[in-house]
Amino acid sequence: MRRLSNIYRLGIKELRSFVHDRILFILIVWAFSGGIYAATTATSQELHNAPIAVVDEDQSKLSGRIVGAFYGPYFKPPIMISHAEIDHGLDAGIYTFVVNIPPNLEHDIVAGKHPDLQVNIDATRMTQAFIGAGYIQNIVNGEVGEFLKGYRQNTALPIQLTTHVKFNPNLSSAWFGSIMELINNITMLSIILTGAALIREREHGTLEHLLVMPLNAAEIVLAKIWSMGLVVLLAAGLSLHFVVQGALHVPISGSIPLFMCGALLHLFAATSMGVFMGTVARNMPQLGLLMILTILPLHLLSGGVTPRESMPEIVQLIMQAAPTTHFVSLAQAILYRGAGFDVVWPSFLAIIGIGGVFFTLSLALFRKSLASAQ
């Protein structure tokens, strides 16, 4: 009872300090509102405005149709260039795609000669290159098919493929990006807030002050975890409601309370990591550098940016120990796929386990650092 009251009082003090720090407050508001909005709308991983050029050596009705078929938002209006300009344009990175329409294309097609049509792709632009190539193939085939309708019967393929895209039928990256950005912010801020709260006490000498009072290390650590966790949880909940659903119109199929439960567990793990780093780092600059080195991998390798199953085995294995991996997986399952607790319980369990280990570890380290502090 006494302990709970201590943890409660210290946490209230933590919240008072937090509210007092205007800049930090503004930063958090920005991260969960404007930050998510900007990150989601400014960039996309789908094909968008890809620069394309066409070398039209046919100058026929069909080639005109093909050129006219490339339009926004997938492609920029195609630029007509000569054959000699292809290499320079690709070398300098002006275009990602150059479609080369050979002479007599229309004539040869009508004659059934199966002429070649070449597409040059700058394969160093990974996101656009592969998806764009598929689009170009479909567009050209489509236009040719349409064109031929007047001339001859299209032959049906023996097996038809009917594709359904589940959970995000338009493959809109705003759906994906906003939630992943939210997750990143949850992780980043819970680490920063607890880490910095600890370093601040140390740098201002108030930590010693707490230690000469009838308090123990666990109470100090737990107070920081609950108070800063509450701040982030509140910000995340509001952001999910007003920004993600409100401003960005992302439909959420699953249960938000279930997701918030997951977020709560994740916060426990992430804030424990924050305490861990706040104990390891001796001062704010070190905490900053340590954070960059930790948050980047958490961000890049937990499956929020690129699919996990495509990463090297060893990376996948190591990332199993990061709470973000499980959080990303449960968030995707709940929010996009509408999964219930019966589906996501292993992720919940994993996060509890990881959080518990980090908490015990950071508590032990914190105790040790107190004992050897100069």
Partner 1 sequence: MSSRAVARLSGVSHRYGDTAALDGIDLEIPAGCMVGLIGPDGVGKSSLLALVSGVRKIQSGSVAALDGDMGDRYHRAAVCPRIAYMPQGLGKNLYMTLSVYENVEFFARLFGQDRSEREARISELLKSTGLAPFRDRSAGKLSGGMKQKLGLCCALIHDPDLLILDEPTTGVDPLSRRQFWHLIDRIRTRRPGMSVIVATAYMEEAAGFDWLVAMDDGRVLATGTPAELLARTGAGNLDAAFIGLLPEEKRRDHQALIVPPRAAHDGSPAAIRAENLTKRFGDFTAVDHVDFEIGRGEIFGFLGSNSCGKTTTMKMLTGLLPPSEGQAWLFGRPAKAHDLETRKRVGYMTQAFSLYGELTVRQNLVLHAQLFHMPPERLRQRLQEMIERFGLAEHKEVLASELPLGIRQRLSLAVAVVHQPEMLILDEPTSGVDPVARDDFWRLLVDLSRNDGVTIFVSTHFMNEGERCDRISLMHAGRVLASDAPQTLIAQRGKSSLEDAFIDYLEEATGEKADAAAVEPDAARSSYRPAMPARFSLQRLLGYAYRELLEVLRDPVRLVFSLLGSVLLMFLMGYGITMDVEDLRFAVLDRDQTPESRAYVQNMAGSRYFKERAPISSSTELDRRMSSGEVSVALEIPPGFGKDLQRGRTVEIGVWVDGAMPFRGETVLGYIQGLHYDYLMQLARQHLGAVPTLTPVNIQMRYRYNQDFKSLYAMVPAVIPVLLVFIPSILMAVGVVREKELGSITNLYATPVTRLEFLLGKQLPYIGVSMVSFFGLVALSVYVFGVPLKGSLLTLSFAALLFVTVTTGIGLLLSAFTRTQVAALAATAIFTLLPTVSFSGLTEPVSSLTGIGAVIGKFFPATYFLNISRGLFTKALEFQDLYADFLALAAFIPMLTLLSVALLSKQEK
- For residues 327-356, which are near partner 1 according to CB under 8 A? 329, 332-333, 336-339, 343-344
Per CB under 8 A, the segment of 225-233, 243-251, 264-272, 302-310 that binds partner 1 is: 302-310
Per CB under 8 A, the segment of 229-237, 240-248, 309-317, 351-359 that binds partner 1 is: 309-317
Residues with Cβ within 8 Å of 170's Cβ and at least 6 positions away in sequence, in order, are: none
The interface with partner 1 within residues 68-107 (CB under 8 A) comprises 76, 88, 90-94, 96, 105
x/- map, 206-245, partner 1, by CB under 8 A: x-xx-xxxxxx-----------------------------
H or E element at residue 301:
helix 284-301
Tokens 């666990």 belong to residue:
218
Tokens (6 digits) for 171: 């493959």
Please state the closest distance from residue 24 (CB atom) to partner 1, in A.
10
The interface with partner 1 within residues 114-143 (CB under 8 A) comprises 114-131, 133-134, 136-137, 140-141
Tokens 């400014």 belong to residue:
42
Give the number of other CB atoms < 10 A from CB of residue 60.
19
Please state the closest distance from residue 242 (CB atom) to partner 1, in A.
22
Cβ closest to partner 1, residue 263 vs residue 334 = 334
Would you count residue 65 as binding partner 1 (CB under 8 A)?
no
Residues in the chain: 374
Per CB under 8 A, the segment of 202-210, 232-240, 265-273, 352-360 that binds partner 1 is: 202-210
Nearest to 290 by CA among 178, 152, 192: 192
Q: What are the b/e assignments for 251-271, b being 16+ CB within 10 Å?
A: ebebeeebbebbbebbbbbbb
Cβ closest to partner 1, residue 8 vs residue 233 = 8
Task: Number of residues interacting with partner 1: please give it, by CB under 8 A.
Answer: 125
Tokens (6 digits) for 301: 């390798």
Would you count residue 55 as binding partner 1 (CB under 8 A)?
no
Residues with Cβ within 8 Å of 211's Cβ and at least 6 positions away in sequence, in order, are: 370
Give the number of other CB atoms < 10 A from CB of residue 285.
9
x/- map, 4-33, partner 1, by CB under 8 A: -xx--xx--x--xx--xx-----x------
Please state the closest distance from residue 355 (CB atom) to partner 1, in A.
21
Please state the closest distance from residue 296 (CB atom) to partner 1, in A.
6
Residues with Cβ within 8 Å of 117's Cβ and at least 6 positions away in sequence, in order, are: 99, 100, 101, 102, 105, 140
The interface with partner 1 within residues 265-294 (CB under 8 A) comprises 283-286, 288-289, 292-293
DSSP assignment of 204-219, as one string?
TTHHHHHHTSS--HHH
Would you count residue 364 as binding partner 1 (CB under 8 A)?
no
For residues 231 and 193, the answer to whether their CB atoms sit within 8 Å is yes
x/- map, 151-190, partner 1, by CB under 8 A: ----xxxxxxxxxxxxxxx-xxx-xx--------------
Question: What is the C-alpha separation between 96 and 89, in angstroms, rounded?
Answer: 9
One-letter amino acid for residue 351 of the chain: I
Would you count residue 48 as binding partner 1 (CB under 8 A)?
yes
Would you count residue 365 as binding partner 1 (CB under 8 A)?
no
Cβ closest to partner 1, residue 33 vs residue 216 = 216
Nearest to 279 by CA among 359, 337, 160: 359
Would you count residue 50 as binding partner 1 (CB under 8 A)?
yes
